[in-house]
Amino acid sequence: MPLAAAVVQWETKRGIRDTGEDPALARRRAREHVAAPDVKHGLGAYTVRCLVADYLAGHVEHNASPAVQTNTRYALGSPIEPILDKLPESVTRKMAFDLLEGLRDRPTYANRIKMELGAAWDYALDAGRLPENTPNWWRQIMRGRLRSKGRSRNGERVTDKRVLTGPEITALVPWVQVLEEDVADAVQLYLWTGQRGNEIVAMQGVELSEETDGFWWTIPKAKTKNKRIERATAHRVPLVGRAELIVRRRWAIYGAGHLFPYAAPKSGRRPAKSRKGITQASVGQIIARCQPYWKGNNKLVTERPIPVTGWTPHDLRRTARTMLGAMGCANEVAEEIIGHIKPGIVGVYNLYTYDAEKREWLTKLAARLEELAAS
């Protein structure tokens, strides 16, 4: 150690000693805390299992959608089994590291578990159920180390953001008609509206309105991705062209209810009791099952092979946004169309909704898409 560094360290320790503390004793206690063996706890002990149950009941069930609740319960179940019966204050930094290190081959999943455990520890600390000096290692370890490697496709990792080209749209739009109607309609609405998949499949007739300037779909704030942002509002989407035709047809069939209702499976499987509409994931899985690289046993063989590969339904939303930019749509209008919140101070002072501009540019987008589909 360089002399200067040694002098600094000596001065620091002397300052600690002068306050009445014993540095050697502090180090020994720290070692004993880290190396403390797991002991049998009494019946009333507050274990990690209890901490997780409190977090799920007190926070997740009040703030997350049913789907997110299910995923969170799974993430905080068997994957963290090694620590469930330990006292939270006895979970060491090494234990936390080893748990996440064991999930390193699934970095996105490991990050989800790390995030939820960090939130669960914070919840217990805020509620006074843990000693105030209990460390929350989940907030401190593996920062920036759990990076997604992208999707695995034919043995290769794919991380690129996909945008369909004009010729690909020309080939794809006629092909989607061979899919079942719910999926075909949802896929086309991705392109013609640029909206999120979970918002499309949750569409209800009560959200539609005839107005002086045309047909509108108003997505309640509670259904949007921005529902927890205080200054966010309901998102208004003008329906024009093919999007209007699809939605009007479904509206006439299903009325004020869900326009993409969930149908119980025809096989012997039990229906999902709480499900009212089809899910974004089910649409994505059907598209994935059509791809030539699908490895599952339930590959979906359509009348015509899929003409464009390597895409997901969300790529169609990205394609719509990219096309708007390419056609000259102002950035603030395009961002309003796809439901992004105005950033920073702009969002505080600019409360204009751009309704007229949204209709103008979605009309232009619809015309361009029909041109490509017909060519």
Q: What is the pLDDT of residue 362?
A: 98
What is the length of the chain?
375
Q: Which CATH architecture has domain 166-374?
A: Orthogonal Bundle (1.10)
Q: Is the entire prediction scored with pTM above 0.85? A: no
Express each pLDDT in 130-159 by its tens digit.
999 999 999 999 887 777 665 665 556 565
What is d(CA 151, CA 283) in angstroms, rounded to the nearest whole number? Answer: 18
CB 148 within 8 A of CB 108: yes
Closest CA to 293 of 314, 312, 280: 312
Q: Where are the domains of the chain?
A: 1-33, 36-139, 166-374
Q: Please list, in sequence order, all residues whose beta carbon lies within 8 angstroms of the beta carbon of residue 239, skipping any fewer than 6 positions away.
A: 193, 208, 214, 215, 216, 217, 247
Q: Which of 10-14, 31-35, 88-92 bottoms out in mean pLDDT, i.e. has the lowest? A: 31-35
* ∠ CA 165-167-168, rounded to 5°: 65
Q: Is 152 strand, coil or helix?
A: strand
Express each pLDDT in 50-94 by its tens digit.
999 999 999 999 988 888 899 999 999 989 999 999 999 999 999
CA 312 to chain centre: 15
3-state helix, strand, coil in the chain (%, to 5): 55, 5, 40
Q: 36-139: which CATH number, 1.20.1560.10, 3.40.50.1110, 1.10.150.130, 3.20.20.70?
A: 1.10.150.130
Q: Is the pLDDT of residue 170 over 80?
A: yes
Question: Cα-flanking dihedrals φ and ψ of residue 180, to 5°?
Answer: -60, 150
Q: Is the pLDDT of residue 1 over 60?
A: no
Q: Which residue has the higher pLDDT, 258 or 230?
A: 258
Judge whether 36-139 and 166-374 match in fold. no
Q: Which of 138-142, 149-153, 244-248, 339-343 bottoms out in mean pLDDT, i.e. has the lowest? A: 149-153
